[in-house]
Chain A
């Protein structure tokens, strides 16, 4: 069974630039999560999708972050414009019964 795929694995941008991350969940997993993991901390949920609908986006900074899962499969997370404090690893996870994580995208904002 293929795991959760994410790309890119690494991204370096300057502040005020835009960036997008892509996630392909495990086939058949209706629930998809995006997390932000700042160095030395545990993952913090940004948004949860159930199929193509948003279940919880209460911790998503909506003035600069957006996410979509148009066909209920792949998802993209965008940051526009990026700030220095957005430097983190962005983890995607999908769940049917158990939650499986992707390898993450390490974002560095200079």
Chain B
């Protein structure tokens, strides 16, 4: 079974600075997807960024980028120019690319605080 680990329960960053959230995962599959989700205090989970395992190029979405190291099974999220609205729980998630069993496995989350 796949597992996702986030070793940083809490992180803080100064507004306008850069922060990196860590995520490692364990799988025996070669084809899969990785995600970062954001859950603000209102609790509606939203997708931040997605990475296909077969792509070597790291995904980027505006101020959010990932460092995907497939061999090391590492998938970190970098937030540049942090804003107060970035404060939330961040969850790393894995999904198999197989036809069946495309369920998501989530990590325990990292609570990010943004300091003004």
With beta carbons under 8 angstroms apart, the residue of A31, A41, A100 that contacts B109 is: A41
Q: Closest CB-CB distance, B22 to chain A, in whole Å?
A: 15
With beta carbons under 8 angstroms apart, the residue of A42, A56, A93, A101 that contacts B108 is: A42
**Which residues of chain A have C-beta atoms less than 8 A from B109's C-beta?**
40-42
Interface pair B43/A45, CB less than 8 Å apart: no
Q: Closest CB-CB distance, A77 to chain B, in whole Å?
A: 16
Per the CB 8 Å criterion, the residue count for chain A at the interface is 21
Question: Helix, strand, loop or mixed for chain B's interface?
Answer: loop
Per the bound structure, the CA–CA distance linking A77 and B91 in Å amounts to 24
**Which residues of chain B have C-beta atoms less than 8 A from A93's C-beta?**
45
Query: With an 8 A cutoff between CB atoms, is A16 at the interface?
Result: no
**Which residues of chain A have C-beta atoms less than 8 A from B104's C-beta?**
33, 43, 45, 99
User: Which B residues have a C-beta under 8 Å from some C-beta of A?
Assistant: 4, 42-47, 50, 91, 93, 100-109
